[in-house]
Amino acid sequence: MDQILKYFKTLSEEQQRQLSMLDALYHDWNEKINVISRKDIDHLYEHHVLHSLAIGQAIHFRPGTRVLDFGTGGGFPGIPLAILFPDTRFRLIDGTGKKIRVATEIANAIGLKNVEAVHLRGEEENGKYDFVVSRAVMPLPDLIKIVRKNISSTQRNAMLNGVLCLKGGDVSGEVRPFGHRAEVMPVSTWFDEEWFQEKYLIYVAL
């Protein structure tokens, strides 16, 4: 939790309470349904929560914004972002039902009112959203081919509607097809932990 507070100093007591509950909840659920690798669960706040919140360093979603978390797994980046932006609506989808169960149970346990988690493949999602967020679910061109249909034409944020995708390693090949429409932001710009070296947030306006 200290890592989160280091970068997000204006969190309300409620937001701090919700974030602090995640550790025990994810440890507990991970024993029943493996959504985070065993070696990674002890780095929950750095590798999963803070990593997810990098999106909140690039954009401050305006109230009423609608966000689709594509391939959420156990709730990343959607649940940390929903805590950070309580006035934004988040729809979390994943093709694996047991992962959606974990995301649903954790959202309910911490009292998130702005999240719905649904067992659904991306191809089946027909709703319209301001942004689609994702954490390394598939190659970026494949992701954008699926979610292009879900991007709303109504703009309500300073950043144009599109995709915000967290990736690691060499991303040059993935962004090349999008030319000037793709912006690659190093996560290490915001967070100084060594783990964030070679981690990137890719934004593609659609």
Q: What is the mean pLDDT of residues 52-71?
A: 98
Count of C-beta atoms within a 10 Å radius of residue 70: 27
pLDDT at 142: 97
Average pLDDT score over the chain: 97
Count of C-beta atoms within a 10 Å radius of residue 139: 13
**pLDDT one-digit tens code per residue, 20-60:** 999 999 999 999 999 999 889 999 999 999 999 999 999 99
**Per the structure block, which two tokens stand in for 82?**
């929903």
**pLDDT one-digit tens code per residue, 80-104:** 999 999 999 999 999 999 999 999 9
pLDDT at 8: 97
* Closest C-alpha among 54, 52, 28 to residue 41: 28
Rounded-to-integer distance, Cα 173 and Cα 111, Å: 40
Q: What is the mean pLDDT of residues 118-135?
A: 97
Say which residue the tokens 């280091």 belong to. Answer: 6
pLDDT at 16: 98
* Closest C-alpha among 187, 181, 180 to residue 163: 181
Say which residue the tokens 């507990």 belong to. Answer: 28
Which phi and psi (to 5°) does residue 29 adopt? -70, -30
Judge if pTM exceeds 0.95.
yes
pLDDT at 136: 84
- Report the relative pairing of strands 115-119 and 131-135 from DSSP bridges: unpaired
**pLDDT one-digit tens code per residue, 145-167:** 999 999 999 999 999 999 999 99
170 has a pLDDT exceeding 90 = yes
Its sign, for the CA torsion 179, 91, 47, 50, is positive
pLDDT at 74: 95
Grouping H, G, I as helix, E, B as strand and the rest as coil, residue 114 is: coil
**Edge-first strand listing for the sheet containing 199-205:** 115-119, 89-94, 66-70, 131-135, 162-168, 199-205, 182-186
